[in-house]
A and B are shown apart, each in its own frame.
Chain A
Amino acid sequence: MRLFGPSPLPLEERLPLDAALDDAFAPLRARTANVGPARVRAAVRWTTAEPRTLGRLGLLVRLSELSIAAAISAFLFAGSVASVQTAPPVPDISRDAVTAGEWMLNGRNALQRPMSSLATDYRTTAGLLAANAASARRTEEPVTPTQSVRDSEPFAGRP
């Protein structure tokens, strides 16, 4: 009597099983792998490729590259910071015309200085307009009015 463990298969049951399993695995047992050791060496070389150690010259080149990169980065950063700091404050004139200083939007959505009716010198303005008109006229040829006399006309030259 067995107290522990499974009872073994009887021999008359075990032998057909062994034969069936041997026969079932026979085609697989006849197969061979189509790989060679060169593929293993290639796999080993591929997975263990490590970066080369840097020599003195390589280290110097790498340091110079890093310093140039750092300098360019610092220059770009400083330029961007300076441009942000020197940008003139642009008042939001459209929203707060009172606090925008002397500029405000007119009806055509253009900036103009506010006009005070008390401080406006209309004569000066009229004088400036006249001066502009005179300078514009001066650029042209002076036109002298000439009176043409037609001989054929009767009573020509009569007072």
Chain B
Amino acid sequence: MTRQPRSKGDGFEAEPRGDRELVHAARAGETLAFDNLFYRYRDGIYRLGMAITKDPSAAEEIVVDTFARAHRAIERLEPDDSLRPWLYRVAVNLSYNRRPRKGVTFSSLDDGTDDIAAEGESPSDAAERTERRRVVLECVDTLGPKHKIVVVLHYLNGLNLAEIAEIVEVPVGTVKSRLHYALRKLRVQLSAHPGLDFEPADLLATTEEQMHGQAR
């Protein structure tokens, strides 16, 4: 097993290598390369698991299980395949296997830090912002799994439509359609809350019609 000298602490290198080089190095037994891959995608997978399971310990287990699978499958991965969609695909599957059952509720996703008023912000503004976030996340939770995962991957993990299509293994057009209907439904739900600045539009009827049409 070969180890490359560390240029910095915490296992980060001066010139970050791409996924392909790191995968090749990890196949050759370089522990540091696998650690770099881990630190590169750890937080994104953790947030994805948190958004779906709403349980920090379950999200950490999802991170560990995802990379354990990657460690076992690294010999079988094609060199030209990108590691990121593969990792996220595994994490999505693991997250939906561990999502909370009906009736089991965890506390809010935030740990209370966003309740603190930012600099130049009044406590009432901070409370209003926290309430707005809570309402939006509740509306996201009401989406179906196919729509919700697209919203989470796009707005939380910052993935583009092509990457999401690779993760959920559907065409890009399907991802685009799912994102569109998810946003329309969110728009309708958020406009029902008077505290939010969403104008009640006449989207409700058209959205419902289109969604029923798609279901048919």
Contacts and interface: CB of A to CB of B under 8 A. Distances in A.
Interface string A1-17: 00001101100011011
Task: Identify which of B133, B186, B197 gathers the most chain A CB atoms within 10 Å of its CB.
Answer: B133
Interface string A116-143: 0000000000000000000000000000
Nearest to B151: A21
B198 to A, nearest CB: 6
Interface of A is mostly: helix
B110 A34 contact: no
A47 B72 CA distance: 10
Interface of B is mostly: helix
Contacts of B68: 40, 43-44, 47
B114 A26 contact: yes
B43 A21 contact: no
Contacts of B50: 28, 31
Contacts of A18: 155
A28 B59 contact: no
A25 interface: yes
Given A28-B156, A37-B34, A6 B67 contact: no
A28 B180 contact: no
B180 A27 contact: no
Q: Chain A contact residues (Cβ within 8 angstroms of B): what range?
A: 20 to 34
Interface of B: 34-35, 38-39, 42-43, 45-47, 50-51, 59-60, 63-65, 67-68, 71-72, 109-111, 113-114, 129, 132-133, 136-137, 140, 151-152, 155-156, 173, 177, 180-181, 183-184, 186-187, 190, 196-198, 201, 203, 210
Interface of A: 5-6, 8-9, 13-14, 16-18, 20-37, 39-41, 43-44, 47-48
19 contacts: A5-B173, A6-B181, A13-B187, A13-B203, A14-B183, A21-B186, A25-B152, A27-B110, A27-B113, A28-B47, A29-B156, A32-B46, A33-B45, A34-B60, A37-B38, A37-B67, A40-B38, A43-B64, A43-B65
